[in-house]
Chain A
Amino acid sequence: MVQIVTANRLVDGIVVFQDEAGGWNEDFARAAVHQDAAGALTRAAEDVAASLIVDPYAIEVELRNGHYAPKALREAIRASGPTVRRDLGKQAEGLAPLHAAHAPTEKPHVSL
């Protein structure tokens, strides 16, 4: 099961993803991918205790056209922004996962 670890940043609530260095990043593409997220969750718990983030948890991701994307619709929306307001959230800032299930792109993404 391929997973990444996500949380909300305490100070502003923005959705963040844990990167390879254990830091927290707004960009889904920077998320560290794990076969087993247990260690990453332990590190996340330390950041909860340090009042950096709240509610960390692991989500399942899968490869789509060479890019990881959340499997569940809920997580795809959370990682992208409201599907009814494409001008808001990560999707508006170029920080959303490519090929999220609910987000058919207007221009097909071509992986180079």
Chain B
Amino acid sequence: MYRYDEFDAAFVAQRVGQFREQVGRRLAGELTEEQFRPHRLMNGLYLQLHSYMLRIAVPYGTLNARQMRKLAEIARKYDRGYGHFTTRQNLQFNWPALKDVPDILAELASVEMHAIQTSGNCIRNVTADHFAGVADDEIADPRPYAEILRQWSSLHPEFSFLPRKFKIAVNGATHDRAVVQAHDIGLQIVRNGEGELGFAVYVGGGLGRTPFVGRKVRDFLPVGDLIAYSEAILRVYNLEGRRDNKYKARIKILLHEKGLETLRDEIEAEFAARGGASLALPAQEVQRIAAYFAPPPLAPRPAASERVERRRGKDAQFARFFESNVTPHKLPGYAIVTISLKPIGGVPGDASADQMDAVADLAEDYSQDELRVSHEQNLILPYVALDDLTAVYDRLASVGLATPNAGLISDIIACPGLDYCALATARSIPIAQRLSERFGDGARARAIGPLKIKISGCINACGHHHVGHIGILGLERNGEETYQITLGGSGDETASIGQIIGPGFSSEAVVGAVETIVETYMARRDGPHEAFLDAYRRLGPAPFKDALYNRNAGADI
């Protein structure tokens, strides 16, 4: 994985020093909150419902054991013993004191981490496929390009005061696990007819109050043009994006107002005007960065493990874990293990300091000292030998991290919602908890099959509800929490925005409503092979609407 060079280390240390000074001036009354706010946001520090919240970048979701242990240490020393993994592959602490944040940032810098550009109107943490480098359907590892974009965009003087935040994702496999079409810029690695590597470029995707699926502006962008073309997009957006209304300031609105053809022409004109030459990525620089992400030298192993097969035969719980949380690896004899942070009845994405330490130990002992954070709020061990799966499973189970539900109905994305967030209009987490208790991780969840429920506690859509197969949006109406359901959303290569199925449901009724939707799917599907999303796309909303509203199935608003 990437290691800081002298420039990186000096840069991050300098930023810590600057923020320490800024915090000192704020606490001494030399800066007002209005003056200080942009500084704290650029360092990932929010003021939330109960306290400050610090969002720490995990670039493209990759970290090592030492870094995870540092997060655990910070959780214990400066926070309340836990952290929350987010849909941007970041980690949030919910209770840091402002006076401690410079020390926290210094601790992070000691393990090559930071909180730079995890907030503010700038280019945010670049995300990537959490199976990068190990997926068996991978065209190329997206992380070198994500790292190049990170270096280019960090404190970029031209793009530090954008009309609004700007999110980039890179996916390197045929299956989109990075939700690229819901990003301001989505980069899908492709090969052209000559076998050369490049990117299909999507622009103007986004969720929030006005959701759009990104539109393709380039079928094939050569790798060497990555920065020049990204700069052309950012420059057009920076000049023409609206600054009069923050709700209309994202590039998706610019695309919607101008139309795809016009925006694409402007981007291409900007790109051509600059010639691209000054920002052409030298091949040797790409290779230099890519070398950091070279796969570890793993010894070949048998493609099957007798130990695993024996355990599967006698331990149903392990068999379930193997079925849902273990993914084929590009190397025979190895597996990718998804550590679900969705215990039944638990808080999606939360991990205690002890759990973080346990996962760090596992990464060191069994996964080449490497971990990933997924946008689905889970953790990944990317390099586990098949023969080690039983030991990994046992150790995960000992710390409550062996929930066998990855990709199933109880593997729910939920934003922090009104339990923590100052912007939220309703709670998200309790709905996720009740849904996971209703459907569990056993036979019923398995019979339902792949189904993504995503819950947001306000229209800002941090819980990605628009791209949930079943999306739930929490709102406040007349002082009561109410939940609007959308169906048919998807964040993969067949991206779509879910459609509102009808009037919302009370907190009490929403779990029953989801159950009605699931039962309708089970009754109408074309057999177990037809997943929920496929069935919904075939059937359309009518049978679900009918079940929800015409049969007195719980609609109450």
Binding site for B on A (CB under 8 A): 8, 10-15, 48, 50-51, 54-55, 71-74, 77-78, 81-85, 88-89
| Interface segment, one of B21-29, B234-242, B302-310, B540-548 | B21-29
Contact of A8 with B47 in the complex, beta carbons under 8 Å: yes
B86-101, CB under 8 A of A: which get 1 and which 0? 0000000001111100
- Which of the residues A14, A54, A55, A85 comes within 8 Å of B347, measured between beta carbons? A85
Q: Given contacts A13-B98, A83-B419, are A89 and B50 in contact (CB under 8 A)? A: yes
- Which of the residues B96, B98, B419, B433 comes within 8 Å of A77, measured between beta carbons? B419
- Which of the residues A48, A54, A73 comes within 8 Å of B481, measured between beta carbons? A73
Q: Given contacts A10-B98, A11-B99, are A72 and B50 in contact (CB under 8 A)? A: no
A2 to B92, CA, bound (A): 36
Shortest beta-carbon distance from B151 to chain A in Å: 32
A83 to B97, CA, bound (A): 21
* A-B pairs with lowest CB-CB distance, top 10: A12-B97, A13-B52, A51-B29, A13-B51, A82-B419, A84-B429, A54-B33, A78-B49, A84-B419, A11-B99
- Which of the residues A10, A13, A15, A81 comes within 8 Å of B27, measured between beta carbons? A10
B293 at the interface (CB under 8 A from A): no
- Which of the residues A72, A77, A83 comes within 8 Å of B479, measured between beta carbons? A72
Q: Given contacts A11-B27, A51-B27, A77-B418, are A84 and B47 in contact (CB under 8 A)? A: no
- Chain B residues near A55: list those with CB within 8 A: 33, 47
- Chain B residues near A88: list those with CB within 8 A: 80, 95
- Chain A residues near B99: list those with CB within 8 A: 11-12
Binding site secondary structure of chain A: loop
A29 to B337, CA, bound (A): 49
- Chain A residues near B49: list those with CB within 8 A: 15, 74, 77-78
A11 to B33, CA, bound (A): 12
Among B33, B50, B476, B479, the one with the most A-chain Cβ atoms within 10 Å of its Cβ is B50
B21-56, CB under 8 A of A: which get 1 and which 0? 000001111000100000000000001111110000
Contacts A13-B48, A89-B50 known; list 11 others, CB within 8 Å. Answer: A10-B26, A12-B99, A13-B51, A13-B52, A48-B33, A51-B26, A71-B479, A77-B49, A78-B50, A84-B429, A85-B419
Contact of B427 with A8 in the complex, beta carbons under 8 Å: no
- Chain B residues near A11: list those with CB within 8 A: 27, 97-99
B2 at the interface (CB under 8 A from A): no
Contact of A15 with B50 in the complex, beta carbons under 8 Å: yes
A71 to B476, CA, bound (A): 14
- Chain B residues near A12: list those with CB within 8 A: 51-52, 97-99
B17 at the interface (CB under 8 A from A): no
Shortest beta-carbon distance from B410 to chain A in Å: 16
- Chain A residues near B433: list those with CB within 8 A: 84
B420 at the interface (CB under 8 A from A): yes
Shortest beta-carbon distance from B51 to chain A in Å: 4
Contact of B50 with A50 in the complex, beta carbons under 8 Å: no
Contact of A73 with B479 in the complex, beta carbons under 8 Å: yes
Q: Given contacts A50-B29, A84-B433, are A13 and B481 in contact (CB under 8 A)? A: no
Shortest beta-carbon distance from A42 to chain B in Å: 17
B429-471, CB under 8 A of A: which get 1 and which 0? 1100100000000000000000000000000000000000000
Contact of A51 with B51 in the complex, beta carbons under 8 Å: no
Among B49, B95, B98, B430, the one with the most A-chain Cβ atoms within 10 Å of its Cβ is B49
Instruction: Offer 18 A-B interface pairs, CB within 8 angstroms, sorted by A.
Output: A8-B51, A11-B97, A12-B51, A12-B52, A12-B99, A13-B47, A13-B52, A13-B98, A51-B26, A54-B47, A73-B476, A74-B49, A74-B424, A77-B418, A77-B419, A78-B49, A82-B420, A84-B419
- Chain B residues near A8: list those with CB within 8 A: 47, 51
A27 to B427, CA, bound (A): 24
Within 8 A of A (CB), among B116-173: none
- Chain B residues near A10: list those with CB within 8 A: 26-27, 98
A83 to B430, CA, bound (A): 8
A15 to B47, CA, bound (A): 11
A54 to B32, CA, bound (A): 10
Q: Which chain A residue lies CB-closest to B416?
A: A82
- Chain A residues near B80: list those with CB within 8 A: 88
Shortest beta-carbon distance from A47 to chain B in Å: 11
- Chain B residues near A73: list those with CB within 8 A: 418, 476, 479, 481
- Chain A residues near B27: list those with CB within 8 A: 10-11, 51
- Chain B residues near A85: list those with CB within 8 A: 347, 419
A99 to B29, CA, bound (A): 37
Shortest beta-carbon distance from B317 to chain A in Å: 26
